C-alpha cells in the first residue's frame, strides 16, 4: 500500500440537545476529515475532533496544520503491516487527535487492500454487533430508549443545580422499567462535598456508576471519594495513556475506565489501554466522542476487535437518528472491507454539517 495523495476537509459537529456550555460548543464545534489516497486509487478516511478538557488540548487549527505536514511526509511510503503503520505514525509526534486521524486513514486503506473489515486487522474479536447505551436528557428520552429496546442509558448531570438533577433522576426512574440500567456522567462538574451529597442521595435509584464526578484530576481525592461511595466510580478525562491506568489501579481511584480512541491517540493505543485496564482488574468500555461518522465507526471497529466478554459501550450513533446500524440495545458492526464509513461533503463547500452515513 503506497500513499500518493491526501486531502483535509473541515466539518461541523452536531450537538442537538446535548447539555454543554456555549463556550464548549464554540471550542468543540468542528473537526476535520483526513482522506488518504493510495496508488491503487482507494481512499482511506480519518477523523480529528478536539474537545476542551480531553485529549491533547491542542486547537483544531494546530492539529490541522500538523496533520497536513504529517500526511505530506507519508507520500510515497509503502506500508503493508499494522505495526509498520504504528511505527510510521508514532515517529511523526502528532497530538492525540491528529494521530487518531492519520492512523485510522492508514488502517482503513490497509483493510481495504486486504479485503477485510478493519476490526480483523486489530484483534481476534469478530462481533456482529456491540451492546450500547443510549444518551438521554430527560424522562421522555428514557421512555423512548426503553420502548426501542435499550438495556442501558446514560444521563449527563452537573449543568443544573443538584436538586434539579436529582429531581430529573427521580422522574426518569419512575417512568422506565427497573431493569433499565442507568449510568450518570458528571463531566467533572462537582466538588467533593457536592459529589458526596449527590452519591448518598442517588443510592436509591440503582445507578450503575458515576462517571468523572469530581472537578479536578486529583486521583488521591477521587480515591477518598470512592472509598465512601456505594456507587461504582468511572473515569474518563483522567485516561489518556497507559500509565494513567496504572496510577488509577494503584490508588484504587475508580472501578471503570472509559476509553475514547480520539483522545488517547488512536485505535491501537486504545486497545492497549483497554487490555491494561482489564489486567489491572478494572472494568473498561469503549465510547466515541461525538465526532463524525468516521470516528464513530472507528470506535465500533475497535470494540468489535476485542475478544472475550464486552461491557455495554458508548457507541450508539450521534445524532441518534443517524444511519440504520443501531437497533434497540445494539449497534451492528460494518462487514465491508475497511472502516465502513465515508463522509459526505457537498461539492465546493469549505465546511459542512456532518451528514452521518454509518
User: In sequence order, which residues have a C-beta less than 8 Å from that of residue 6 and are 6 or more positions away?
Assistant: 34, 35, 36, 37, 71, 72, 74, 75
Q: What is the DSSP string of 199-231?
A: HHHHGGG-EEEEES-BSS--HHHHHHHHHT-SS
Residue 241: half-sphere exposure toward Cβ, Cα within 13 Å: 4
What CA–CA distance (Å, rounded) separates 98 from 65? 10
**Number of continuous H segments (helices) and E segments (strands) in the chain:** 13, 14
99 and 88 Cβ atoms separated by less than 8 Å: no
Report the DSSP beta bridge partners of residue 258: 285
DSSP bridge partners of 207? 182
**Catalytically annotated residue among 154, 260, 281, 352:** 260
Whether cis (ω within 30° of 0) applies to the bond prior to 319 is yes
Q: Which of 110, 101, 156, 12 is nearest to 294 (CA)?
A: 101
Cell of 181: 440500567
Let me know if 156 is a catalytic residue. Answer: yes
Cα separation, 182 vs 61, in Å, equals 37
Q: Exposed (0-12), middle (13-18) or buried (19+): which is 214, by Cβ within 10 Å?
A: buried
Query: Bridge partners of 9?
Result: 33
Q: Which of 93, 154, 156, 179 is the catalytic position?
A: 156
Which sequence positions are flagged as catalytic? 156, 260
Amino acid at each position: 500500500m503506497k500513499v500518493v495523495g491526501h486531502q483535509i476537509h473541515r466539518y461541523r459537529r452536531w450537538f442537538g440537545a446535548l447539555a454543554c456550555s456555549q463556550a464548549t460548543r464554540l471550542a468543540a464545534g468542528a473537526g476535520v476529515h483526513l482522506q488518504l489516497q493510495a496508488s491503487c486509487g482507494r481512499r482511506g478516511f480519518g477523523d480529528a475532533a478536539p474537545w476542551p478538557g480531553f485529549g491533547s488540548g491542542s486547537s483544531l487549527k494546530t492539529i490541522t496544520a500538523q496533520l497536513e505536514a504529517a500526511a505530506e511526509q507519508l507520500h510515497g511510503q509503502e506500508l503493508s503491516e499494522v505495526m509498520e503503520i504504528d511505527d510510521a505514525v508514532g515517529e511523526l509526534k502528532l497530538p492525540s487527535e491528529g494521530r487518531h486521524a492519520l492512523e485510522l486513514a492508514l488502517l482503513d486503506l490497509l483493510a481495504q487492500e486486504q479485503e477485510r473489515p478493519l476490526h480483523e486487522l486489530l484483534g481476534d474479536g469478530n462481533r456482529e454487533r456491540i451492546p450500547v447505551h443510549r444518551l438521554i436528557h430527560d424522562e421522555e428520552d428514557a421512555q423512548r430508549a426503553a420502548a426501542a429496546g435499550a438495556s442501558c442509558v446514560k444521563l449527563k448531570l452537573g449543568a443544573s443545580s443538584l436538586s434539579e438533577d436529582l429531581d430529573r433522576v427521580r422522574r426518569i426512574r419512575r417512568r422506565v422499567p427497573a431493569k433499565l440500567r442507568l449510568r450518570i456522567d458528571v463531566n467533572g462538574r462537582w466538588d467533593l462535598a457536592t459529589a458526596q451529597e449527590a452519591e448518598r442521595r442517588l443510592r436509591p435509584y440503582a445507578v450503575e456508576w458515576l462517571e468523572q464526578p469530581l472537578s479536578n484530576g486529583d486521583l488521591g481525592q477521587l480515591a477518598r471519594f470512592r472509598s465512601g461511595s456505594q456507587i461504582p466510580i468511572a473515569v474518563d478525562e483522567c485516561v489518556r495513556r497507559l500509565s494513567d491506568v496504572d496510577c488509577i489501579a494503584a490508588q484504587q481511584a475508580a472501578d471503570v475506565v472509559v476509553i475514547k480512541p480520539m483522545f488517547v491517540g488512536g485505535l491501537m493505543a486504545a486497545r492497549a489501554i483497554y487490555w491494561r485496564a482489564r489486567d489491572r482488574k478494572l472494568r473498561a468500555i469503549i465510547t466515541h466522542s461525538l465526532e463524525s461518522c468516521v470516528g464513530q465507526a472507528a470506535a465500533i471497529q475497535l470494540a468489535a476487535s476485542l475478544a472475550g466478554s464486552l461491557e455495554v459501550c458508548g457507541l450508539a450513533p450521534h445524532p441518534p437518528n443517524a444511519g440504520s446500524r443501531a437497533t434497540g440495545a445494539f449497534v451492528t458492526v460494518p462487514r465491508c472491507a475497511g472502516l465502513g464509513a465515508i463522509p459526505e461533503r457537498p461539492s465546493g463547500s469549505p465546511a459542512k454539517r456532518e451528514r452521518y452515513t454509518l
